[in-house]
Homo-oligomer: A and B are copies of this chain.
Amino acid sequence: MDSIAIGAGILGTGGGGNPYIGQLRARQAIRQWGPVTVLAPEELPDDARVVCVGGIGAPTVGIEKVRDLQSYHALRAIEDFTGEKATALISNEIGGSNSVEPLIPAAMAGLPVVDADGMGRAFPEFQMKTFFVYGVPCCPMAIADEKGNSVVIRETISPVWAERLARSLTVQMGCVACYAVAPMTAEQVRRTAVPNTLSLARRLGDAVKDARTIGHDPLDAILDTCPGRILFSGKVTDLQRRTTAGFARGTLTIEGLDDYSGEQMFIEFQNENLIAKRNGETVCTVPDLICSVATDVGEPVTTELMRYGLRVTIFGFPAPALWATPEGLAVAGPRAFGYDTDYIPLMSPLPPGEG
């Protein structure tokens, strides 16, 4: 579990909710209600009904107002609404605490979790899932808070409208809520999910921990496990971060150290890191992954924990292949976030199944 927390923290590109808190909550759920089986997508029975569950809100709030059983309540609400019982759960994103969020309702309800997710990373907005890009309906979806309020977004004219309505509810609910989407079929999961991401997160975390144990550089271990490149390394010298409209938004400035001495990196984020500029030049954009890691120990530094003075190394990883398509880029490319720049792939996309 602590390996998954490290790996999902890295793949979360800053967002997805605090992975340490997510890990503690998932551990407690498993201790209380029993272990959870993880199934590969191909192991799903053909008649499976797979519900995607996740947290929604600002990670800056999530570390102060820890989630409770909202995702279980959201699961029950969508089951009630659709009249269908879930037979498996799936992560909405393999970032931060959201990577393990389904383990909590899965432990409570005795359901397996699929080794896959709807992003292969983390993204800030609800509609930014490969499921919806490739034709799975985003509604009905249920959203619940810790107080006992629950809402079903029944029908929207587009996935972006589901995000708008869910976000405004989340703000009212105190910026920390959970949702569950109407069940998908096994075929839909196999065709539209980014596969094997929970195991990738675990392998990534294992590699970092092993490197620390045997005295190797954890940064090398990360690159050995998940092909990508180091974009920058330095010290955080400025951080503008505000919690607004249900997101943690801001900018991060890093002054180069060692090989990068005299250089500067500038990153804009909306829960997740969206665009990285090195000496004024764009070097990496969504949907490619821009990941901050503590330079000394290889521990992910998520948006809500970023602070002045930290020594960080910025990795770039290529987006999962499902994002590097015209349909994918329309939903999660730089222009979808308002940047007037085209997506220039960091490296050629990874084959499906490698994250």
The 8 Å CB contact of A165, one of B148, B154, B156, B172, is B172
Per-position 1/0 for A336-353, Cβ under 8 A of B: 000000000000000000
Q: How many angstroms from the CA of A168 to the CA of B147 in the assembled complex?
A: 17
Structural contact, A168 and B172, CB atoms closer than 8 A: yes
CB of A102 to closest CB in B, whole Å:
21
Contacts of A155 in B (CB 8 A): 148-150
Q: How many angstroms from the CA of A147 to the CA of B157 in the assembled complex?
A: 7
Decide yes or no whether A330 CB sits under 8 A from chain B.
no
Contacts of A80 in B (CB 8 A): 154
Per-position 1/0 for A81-95, Cβ under 8 A of B: 100000000000000
Structural contact, A154 and B154, CB atoms closer than 8 A: no
Contacts of A38 in B (CB 8 A): none
Decide yes or no whether A152 CB sits under 8 A from chain B.
yes
Q: How many angstroms from the CA of A142 to the CA of B168 in the assembled complex?
A: 16
Decide yes or no whether A169 CB sits under 8 A from chain B.
yes
Residue in chain B with minimal CB distance to A157: B148
Decide yes or no whether A20 CB sits under 8 A from chain B.
no
Q: How many angstroms from the CA of A157 to the CA of B149 in the assembled complex?
A: 6
Residue in chain B with minimal CB distance to A77: B154
Structural contact, A165 and B147, CB atoms closer than 8 A: no
Q: How many angstroms from the CA of A147 to the CA of B156 in the assembled complex?
A: 8
Structural contact, A150 and B157, CB atoms closer than 8 A: no
Contacts of A142 in B (CB 8 A): 154
- Known contacts: A81-B81, A169-B169. The answer to whether A156 contacts B149 by CB under 8 A is yes
Decide yes or no whether A30 CB sits under 8 A from chain B.
no
Contacts of A171 in B (CB 8 A): 168
CB of A74 to closest CB in B, whole Å:
10
Residue in chain B with minimal CB distance to A171: B168
Which residues does A use to contact B, with CB under 8 Å? 77, 80-81, 142, 147-157, 161, 164-165, 168-169, 171-173
Q: Which 7 A-B pairs have the closest CB atoms?
A: A168-B168, A152-B152, A148-B157, A150-B154, A168-B172, A149-B156, A150-B155
Further contacts, 12 of them, CB under 8 A, given A148-B156, A148-B157, A164-B172: A81-B152, A81-B154, A148-B155, A149-B153, A149-B157, A149-B165, A150-B154, A165-B172, A165-B173, A168-B169, A168-B171, A168-B172
- What are 22 pairs between A and B in contact, CB < 8 Å? A77-B154, A81-B81, A81-B154, A142-B154, A148-B155, A148-B157, A149-B153, A149-B156, A149-B157, A149-B161, A149-B165, A150-B155, A151-B151, A151-B152, A151-B153, A151-B154, A151-B165, A164-B172, A165-B169, A168-B168, A168-B171, A168-B172
